[in-house]
Structure 1
Amino acid sequence: MSQTRAKTPRQPTIAHADDDPIYLTEFRTAMLARGLSVHTRNAYMRDLRLCLNTSSTPLTTWGEAQVQHCLKSMMQLGKSVRTQARILSSLRQFFLWQIGNGGRDDNPCEHIKAPKTGSSLPKTLSEDDVTCLLDAPDISTVLGLRDKAMLEVLYACGLRVSELINISLEQLNLNAGWLQITGKGNKTRLVPLGEFAITAIENYMLHRRTLLPDGRNDCQAVFLTAQGGYMTRHNFWHMIKKYARIANITSDISPHTLRHAFATHLINHGADLRSVQLLLGHSNLSTTQIYTHVATTRLQNLHKQHHPRG
């Protein structure tokens, strides 16, 4: 884990390549102007650099034949269907940018169908597994209290890991029982905490100051590292893996698994889809609808397991 003390939220770094052609640099600048996140911009650039390796022709002059050859090359390299579809999407966005710039009149991706990726359901956890995971931290230590609070908040609020680690003191209102979260696209939403999460945070906050260096109070992060700074996504990824082992959870889980569990369990207990969408911060209801399939699949499995004619 990082030993650096970050007094402000850690930001993802921009992945530069010195040998990028000028048009890729211009495309990155255009994406910044559109307000796309660093993660999204890096993903686009990573995909387009892969494409450049499949042809000696400049990307700006590609036609449909070069796009088809690129996708075939990706398949031969063993890239997954999902990766191929993402690369096609990145190419499509690049050519749309060219058209908007007046650099070309056509989009060579227009008539190419994306590879079918299937509809894989998100990994989730049973309610019993979640309880075991939340009980795994050793709350006799301040770091254990912190970890307990973080896991409780993640499950109570269905946050993305970046939202969790960047919660500041001003976003937290324990009296009202709410968190104010700024998510993707800088959209702000209010999320209720619930009694268990509030209690866990209160227990941790009694000892939070002990994680700050002596005499300092210069970091506004709610959840501090042992050095008294903001955490990284990598920090929390290792943490949840550790507690999964302690809880004897054999499935491979990540921080996002608790977000999936949050949504699935809400729907299992009768929450309406629109409310779950608002709590998760999804822009489109179609993104949230996947959790209805998860809940349906679980009901089918329960029926098969327990019904005499299942």
Structure 2
Amino acid sequence: MKWEDSKKGFENFLRLEKSLSQNSIAAYVNDINKLMVFLEGNFKKLAPEKVKLNHLRSFVEHLNDRGVSPRTQARTISGIKSFFKYLLIEGKIQGDPTTLLESPKIGRKLPDVLTMEEIDTIIDAVDLEKPEGQRNKAMLETLYSCGLRVSELVNLKVTNLFFEQGFVKVEGKSEKERLVPVSEKAVVEINKYLNGYRKTLRISPESENVLFLNRRGKKLSRVMIFTIIKNLAQKVGMDKKISPHTFRHSFATHLISGGADLRAVQEMLGHESILTTEIYTHLDRDYLKSTISQFHPRS
């Protein structure tokens, strides 16, 4: 069995059976490529079905020696485990060599959060004198108002805006759709953009239904969103590490701080597991204290 054939089959499995996004598939394949390069350099002509636990442990030691963080190691090991489980399902191997492969212990990292004042400071720093200024303001308002992932923001469609009902339809991970409430302020800024800057663009046929466009009339890249936010943070002298995801973290934390139901926040964020949403409760100790005081029978 050849590595390239196995990888190709794994890709198809992730796409068709698991319905993963292209970004997720690329990350999994990258993990397998790392393992493949290591095995080729240290264990000549070792086919996938010949890989044993000792080979995989050597690979993990190699990652550790290179100074790869425990979090990255854990993610890479998870990808490799998925690959060998796929081979087992397909009958390509007789046993799973990753069964006893341990991942490094990692704590849950609490995300950086912006205050409402900091959110406003960054959005107010957008230069509306520039042609793309209104677009950028509308994007940031939408990012925060709806708690979107950056991939969801760049893929937002004009036909998925239901402003009269107060919702936008979002295409999340694994192409799962959800309805998210949108604030009146975001609606105002989006409409200004739609009736202004966007109308001046020469829109590419494949991007006609994409909401936020670059100056060439095409869909914005994820990197561009990161760059816009980074430049604004530098402009206002904010020393926190800020990314598009910071707006999503802030959205969730502000909701929970205000007393929002955890299940409702889970639904709005598009989290499959409530455990992922629960991390935001750790960011507001006062909220936890008040909840216990109000509902615990011993209080």
Q: Tell me the number of residue pairs that the alignment of Structure 1 and Structure 2 aligns.
A: 282
Aligned-residue identity in percent: 34
Q: Following TM superposition, by how much is the alpha carbon of 1:171 offset from its aligned partner in structure 2, in angstroms?
A: 0.7
TM-score, normalised with respect to structure 2? 0.87
Q: Give the partner amino acid of 2:230.
A: K
Alignment partner for residue 175 of structure 1, among 164, 180, 183?
A: 164
Shift of 1:160: 0.7
1:253 to 230, 242, 263: 242
* 1:29 pairs with 2:22: no
After TM superposition, the structure 1 = structure 2 runs for residues 50-65 of structure 1, keeping only pairs within 5 Å, are 50-55=34-39, 56=43, 57-65=46-54
Write the deviation string for residues 24-59 of structure 1: whole angstroms up to 9, x where unpaired: 222222222222221122111111111123332223
Counterpart of 1:47 (choices 2, 11, 31) is 31
Distance 1:281 1:162 in 2: 13
Corresponding residue for residue 236 of structure 1: 225
Uncovered stretches (5+) of structure 1, i.e. residues with no partner: 1-18, 301-310
Tell me what 1:3 maps to. none
Query: Would the alpha carbon gap of residues 103 and 228 (structure 1) be closer, same or farther in structure 2, given more than 3 Å must change?
Result: closer
How far off is 1:134 after superposition? 1.6
Structure-2 residue corresponding to 1:212: 201
**Secondary structure of 2:210's partner?**
coil
Corresponding residue number in structure 2 for 1:38: 22
The reply to whether residue 162 of structure 1 matches residue 151 of structure 2 is yes
Q: Provide the residue aligned with 1:115 in structure 2.
A: 104
Contact 2:134 2:197 in 1 (8 A): no
* Residues 95-106 of structure 1 aligned to structure 2 (within 5 Å): 95-106=84-95
Larger mean CA deviation between 209-218 and 281-290 belongs to 209-218
Moved more, 278-287 or 76-85: 76-85
- Cα deviation, 1:197-240, whole Å, max 9, x if unaligned, reads 11211222220344322999972222221222211111111111
Q: 1:64-111, CA deviations, whole angstroms, 9 ceiling, x for partnerless residues?
A: 111111111111121111121122212211111111111223212212
Give the match for residue 131 of structure 1: 120
Residues 52 and 58, structure 1, Cα contact 8 Å, conserved in 2 = no
Q: What is the aligned partner in structure 1 of residue 133 from structure 2?
A: 144
| Aligned CA distance change for structure 1 residues 218 and 30 (closer, same or farther; 3 Å) | closer
**Relative contact order: is structure 1 or structure 2 higher (C-alpha 8 Å, sep ≥ 6)?**
1
**1:292–1:21 Cα change, 3 Å:** same
Structure 2 unaligned regions, length at least 5: 290-299
Residue 184 (str. 1) matches residue 168 (str. 2):
no
Check whether the contact 2:155–2:171 (CA below 8 A) recurs between aligned residues.
no
Aligned counterparts of 2:175 and 2:37: Cα–Cα separation in 1: 34
CA distance in 2, matches of 1:128, 1:176: 28
Query: Which residue number corresponds to residue 71 of structure 1?
Result: 60
SS at match of 1:53: helix
**Inter-partner Cα distance in structure 1 for 2:10 and 2:165:** 44
TM-score by length of 1: 0.84
Asked if the contact 2:73–2:104 (Cα under 8 Å) also holds between the matched residues in 1, the reply is yes
- Output the CA distance in 2 between the equivalents of 1:157 and 1:88: 33
RMSD over equivalenced CA pairs, Å: 2.3
